[in-house]
């Protein structure tokens, strides 16, 4: 158990489709714990199993007091659209704009094997879509426009945001 190394853009595994989790085993529970630790250590809002080198359909999202462990997540509803500014732990120091639904509803299984749904709007919808894309081997940068370095101000903004989340 412990921190995992984040795979970086250019690593083949990030382009592969992850496999469904057939059963929540102790190994999957360990993976969920490791991913949470890795997400927190990297100040991220989301992480998907392929980013730590595991091709399983698992993603974690931590945003605005909300934390979700999603096993086998799938989008069951999408509504509207919005242009989102995104960045990624696997694509360091770059951000870009990408079209996402304004609202999504995700169906997933939690660590106890229970099915639940998550509804996300605005930034939450963008984070959810971004993480689910990782499970299909898709990086935001593959279709983003206006790709640019994360400047000081954006980095500060992201950090401030995370502090708010951590403190709340």
Span interacting with Zn ion, options 2-10, 55-63, 88-96, 99-107, rule CB under 5 A: 88-96
Closest CB to Zn ion among residues 72, 90: 90
Asked whether position 88 contacts Zn ion by CB under 5 A, the answer is yes
The minimum distance between CB 129 and Zn ion, in angstroms, equals 11
Site membership for Zn ion, residue 61 (CB under 5 A)? no
Beta carbon nearer to Zn ion, 24 or 165: 165
Q: How far is the CB of 35 from Zn ion (least distance, A)?
A: 13
Smallest distance from Zn ion to CB 26, Å: 27
Q: Does 98 bind Zn ion (CB under 5 A)?
A: no
Measure CA of the first residue to CA of the last residue in the chain; give whole Å.
27
Q: Is 131 a residue of the active site?
A: yes
Say if CB 97 and CB 91 are below 8 A apart: no
Binding residues for Zn ion (CB under 5 A):
88
Give catalytic residues, as residue numbers.
131
């Amino acid at each position: 158990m412990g921190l995992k190394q984040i795979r970086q853009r250019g690593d083949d595994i990030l382009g592969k489709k992850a496999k469904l989790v057939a059963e929540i085993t102790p190994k999957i529970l360990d993976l969920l714990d490791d991913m949470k630790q890795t997400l927190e250590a990297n100040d991220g809002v989301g992480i998907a199993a392929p980013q730590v080198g595991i091709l399983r359909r698992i993603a974690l999202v931590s945003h605005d007091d909300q934390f979700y462990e999603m096993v086998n997540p799938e989008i069951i509803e999408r509504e509207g659209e919005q242009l989102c500014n995104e960045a990624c732990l696997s694509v360091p120091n770059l951000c870009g704009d990408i079209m996402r639904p304004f609202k999504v509803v995700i169906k997933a299984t939690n660590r106890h094997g229970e099915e639940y749904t998550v509804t996300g709007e605005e930034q939450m919808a963008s984070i959810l879509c971004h993480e689910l894309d990782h499970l299909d081997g898709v990086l935001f940068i593959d279709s983003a426009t206006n790709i640019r370095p994360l400047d000081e101000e954006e980095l500060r903004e992201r950090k401030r945001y995370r502090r708010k989340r951590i403190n709340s």
